[in-house]
A and B are shown apart, each in its own frame.
Chain A
Amino acid sequence: MLQINIDACIGCGLCEEECTYEAISVVDGIAEVNDKCTLCGSCVDVCEVEALHIEREEKQVQSDFGDWSGVCVFAEHRNGRIAPVTFELLGIGRQLADDLEVKLSAVLLGSDLSDKASKLIAFGADTVYQVDDTALEDFTDDAYGNVFEDIVREHKPEIVLAGATAIGRSFIPQVATALETGLTADCTELAIRKEDRTLLQTRPAFGGNVMATIECPYSRPQMATVRPMVMKSLPEDQGRKGEIISYTPKPERLQSRVKVLNSVKEDRDQINITEAEIIVSGGRGLDDEKGFALIRELADALGGAVGASRAAVDSEWIPYPHQVGQTGKTVCPKLYIACGISGAIQHIVGMQSSDMIVAINKDPDAPIFDVATCGIVGDLFEVVPMLTEKIKERKTS
């Protein structure tokens, strides 16, 4: 329950302004809370006179956290390839492990893994637990979830990280539920509070309009999925030493109630936009599929991937895996070039954390310019080909 100290409340209305749920309002000079309150605590933080308070029962901790030690990263592997987010996880994982003075481990599941484990060591892991089994060739939530859960139970890391990818976001919540612990989705910042070894997990909510820092105080491990392209990986170092341990799961744990009949690759450009450092995106301003060819040429010249607004996808100029936004993918490349995209909020939420945003639009009032680092007001049919031309020229000179 949110408690309001009516003697302290000055009716300033800061809490009312802050609340996203319309759960608190000032009535006759005093704040009043209604049923919509989700106890998110943002009003408590903004109250300048400390009139608001959320009461929480003191809880018993699960057990002695002393047994739990180390940082563990899920190494995502599919079709003979380690997902790039894995190296980013090893980068941040190494940093957290060093802060806590513990080991960094990685769990590698799949089939035909050859020397992939040593690559994880070169990127920062001290120990790799590896399961190489044909039952893990296709991703299934059952088999991956069970085996990962068992390895975590056995080795008891205090922190478990996985990529916020299609695979990570699918099976990790089940693992957290099985381990009876909390999970924070889509983190963009992780840090250790040294006094109590707590992992401070920061993530965007409301499509990036709000940030929240979350802790997992009563149970271990502390689990988080991490957005691709946010954390920095370490340079590869073949000289790094580490241990590779083969783990043999119980046969029943490899079984799945879901069968993969077929796996189809659909990305026209081979580059998955969530992994791209450069994205050139096009919207309705391109008029037709032929217009979209301009986007592709610019992306090729820059060595980037092609993105799109929903309007472009709905017009079938480009398939859905390229859609950026609320109902598409969330991306955060170093460079995002939006061409002929108005910047509807549903699009913005999917790309606003990109390092640099360039907007090309003929309408000076297009909302895309509000989030752009650099804006060009002009006709994209003029600007984009010229840009492509100049970039090609520079490359060859």
Chain B
Amino acid sequence: MNIIVCVKQVPDAKDVRLDPKTNTLSREGVESIMNPYDRHALEAAVQLKENYGGTVTVVSMGPPQAEEVLREAVSCGADEAVLVSDRAFAGADTWATTYTLMKAIKKIGTFDLIICGKQAIDGDTAQVGPGLAHRLNIPFVTCIRNITNCEDSLLKAERLMDDGYDVLEIQLPALLTVVKDINEPRVPSLKGKMKAKKISITSMSAEDIGANPEQIGLNGSTTQVVRVFSPEPRGEKTMLTGSVAEQVEQLIEKLEAIQ
């Protein structure tokens, strides 16, 4: 089974915080990490490979530094890594991103399965997986929490819903996005780390993938960010004081006021 995993390098959300005094984003020590959901996507792919054979190829569209997450993915079990990188890709919204990834994946070749994370923690859109599947004209399912079986190009899996889960049968080739419930990602093995050091990462530019310049990056985007700002600071804060009974009493008064 040939599996492609889409991984994105993102700023670590826990570091991105609003400075309450200046009301600006404090980016002190913001580290770049592999999107947490994509770790689970990769782990799911490596487990499928272990059970059914095949290869795992990781793909990332991003600046040259995104190579770091690709190497990390190799250390955790990926066989091949492709970096889709070009200044012309900058500013891509999900529409331009899915176009670019589609072109790159067609260039990579045939596959049985593509796995993405449920969403990237910087944009939180969850749109790239479904959009990419549509462009490749393959079925997709989002929020997979369990893959139970794979036989004769039929994959059985569970999709997380708001009120429970659905048990599904999916015709391959297909695309899945996964939630963290699906597995516990492994830590890199020593052998994996060695491999990650040595592996040569395939780099693809806009020209390499034959991208139409009008479909990529900022210019290819359908949406436009017109303003970025800090959320309204939260309303008044009160720390209650007094005995426990007094605090509970004050709290009840406040609760009654909003009801």
Secondary structure of the B contact surface, majority rule: mixed
Q: Indicate if A377 sits at the interface (CB-CB under 8 A).
A: yes
Instruction: Give A60's nearest chain B residue, CB to CB.
Output: B214
Q: Indicate if B77 sits at the interface (CB-CB under 8 A).
A: no
Residues of A within 8 Å of B229, CB to CB, are: 45, 210-213
Query: CB-CB contacts of B23-43 with A at 8 A, as 1s and 0s?
Result: 011110010000011000000
A109 to B44, CA, bound (A): 33
Cβ contact within 8 Å between B223 and A184: yes
Residues of A within 8 Å of B21, CB to CB, are: none
A182 to B180, CA, bound (A): 28
A387 to B166, CA, bound (A): 38
Cβ contact within 8 Å between B244 and A36: no
Among listed B103-111, B140-148, B191-199, B201-209, interface-contacting one: B140-148
Cβ contact within 8 Å between B95 and A177: yes
Cβ contact within 8 Å between B13 and A207: yes
Cβ contact within 8 Å between A57 and B24: no
Cβ contact within 8 Å between B164 and A327: no
A349 to B119, CA, bound (A): 14
Residues of B within 8 Å of A213, CB to CB, are: 225-229
Q: Indicate if B189 sits at the interface (CB-CB under 8 A).
A: no
Identify which of A178, A263, A344 gathers the most chain B CB atoms within 10 Å of its CB. A263
B10 to chain A, nearest CB (A): 9
- Given contacts A37-B90, A326-B121, is CB(A204)–CB(B231) below 8 Å? yes
Interface size on B, residues (CB 8 A): 93
Cβ contact within 8 Å between B127 and A185: yes
- Give B137-187 interface residues, CB cut-off 8 Å to A: 139-143, 145, 156, 160-171, 174, 179-181
Among listed A17-25, A88-96, A114-122, A150-158, interface-contacting one: A17-25
Residues of B within 8 Å of A264, CB to CB, are: 164-167
Q: Indicate if A8 sits at the interface (CB-CB under 8 A).
A: no
Cβ contact within 8 Å between A373 and B237: yes
Question: Total A-B residue pairs with C-beta atoms closer than 8 Å?
Answer: 296
Instruction: Give A355's nearest chain B residue, CB to CB.
Output: B258
Q: Indicate if B114 sits at the interface (CB-CB under 8 A).
A: no
A394 to B256, CA, bound (A): 10
Residues of A within 8 Å of B166, CB to CB, are: 138-139, 260, 262-264
Cβ contact within 8 Å between A386 and B245: yes
Query: CB-CB contacts of A29-70 with B at 8 A, as 1s and 0s?
Result: 000001111111110011000000010110100000000000
Instruction: Give A171's nearest chain B residue, CB to CB.
Output: B130
Residues of A within 8 Å of B65, CB to CB, are: 35-36
Cβ contact within 8 Å between B143 and A212: no
A184 to B145, CA, bound (A): 25
Residues of B within 8 Å of A217, CB to CB, are: 224
Instruction: Give B172's nearest chain A residue, CB to CB.
Output: A257
Cβ contact within 8 Å between A390 and B247: no
Cβ contact within 8 Å between B124 and A35: no
Instruction: Give B235's nearest chain A residue, CB to CB.
Output: A373
Instruction: Give B169's nearest chain A residue, CB to CB.
Output: A259
Q: Indicate if B1 sits at the interface (CB-CB under 8 A).
A: no
- Give A324-353 interface residues, CB cut-off 8 Å to B: 326-327, 334-335, 344-346, 349, 352-353
Q: Indicate if A272 sits at the interface (CB-CB under 8 A).
A: yes
Q: Indicate if B2 sits at the interface (CB-CB under 8 A).
A: no
Q: Indicate if A80 sits at the interface (CB-CB under 8 A).
A: no
Q: Indicate if A170 sits at the interface (CB-CB under 8 A).
A: yes
Cβ contact within 8 Å between B252 and A39: no
Q: Indicate if B50 sits at the interface (CB-CB under 8 A).
A: no
- Given contacts A1-B87, A377-B239, is CB(A40)–CB(B225) below 8 Å? yes
Q: Indicate if A103 sits at the interface (CB-CB under 8 A).
A: no
A200 to B226, CA, bound (A): 9
Residues of A within 8 Å of B219, CB to CB, are: 56-57, 59
B206 to chain A, nearest CB (A): 14
Residues of A within 8 Å of B131, CB to CB, are: 173-174, 176-177
Other-chain contact of B218, A54, A166, A386 (Cβ < 8 Å): A54
Cβ contact within 8 Å between A173 and B237: no
A258 to chain B, nearest CB (A): 5
Residues of A within 8 Å of B170, CB to CB, are: 257-259
Query: CB-CB contacts of B44-70 with A at 8 A, as 1s and 0s?
Result: 000000000000000000011100000
- Give B64-97 interface residues, CB cut-off 8 Å to A: 64-65, 87, 90-91, 93-95
Residues of B within 8 Å of A369, CB to CB, are: 237, 239
Cβ contact within 8 Å between A22 and B27: yes
- Given contacts A20-B16, A35-B65, A40-B228, is CB(A170)–CB(B124) below 8 Å? no
A15 to chain B, nearest CB (A): 11
Instruction: Give B17's nearest chain A residue, CB to CB.
Output: A209
Instruction: Give B238's nearest chain A residue, CB to CB.
Output: A374
A23 to chain B, nearest CB (A): 9
A215 to B223, CA, bound (A): 6
A205 to B93, CA, bound (A): 13
A20 to B26, CA, bound (A): 8
Residues of A within 8 Å of B135, CB to CB, are: 177
Cβ contact within 8 Å between B223 and A182: yes
Q: Indicate if A219 sits at the interface (CB-CB under 8 A).
A: yes
Cβ contact within 8 Å between A22 and B244: no
- Given contacts A165-B162, A345-B17, is CB(A38)–CB(B140) below 8 Å? no
Q: Indicate if A102 sits at the interface (CB-CB under 8 A).
A: no
A375 to B225, CA, bound (A): 36
A19 to B125, CA, bound (A): 20
Q: Indicate if B126 sits at the interface (CB-CB under 8 A).
A: yes
Instruction: Give B95's nearest chain A residue, CB to CB.
Output: A182
Q: Indicate if B3 sits at the interface (CB-CB under 8 A).
A: no
A38 to B27, CA, bound (A): 16
Residues of A within 8 Å of B164, CB to CB, are: 263-267, 321
Cβ contact within 8 Å between B160 and A166: yes
Given contacts A211-B229, A259-B168, A274-B162, 15 further A-B contacts (CB under 8 A): A17-B26, A21-B11, A39-B90, A41-B226, A173-B129, A173-B131, A182-B223, A210-B230, A214-B224, A215-B224, A216-B224, A321-B163, A345-B17, A373-B236, A379-B244
5 examples of A-B residue contacts, CB within 8 angstroms? A45-B228, A167-B161, A169-B126, A210-B25, A346-B14
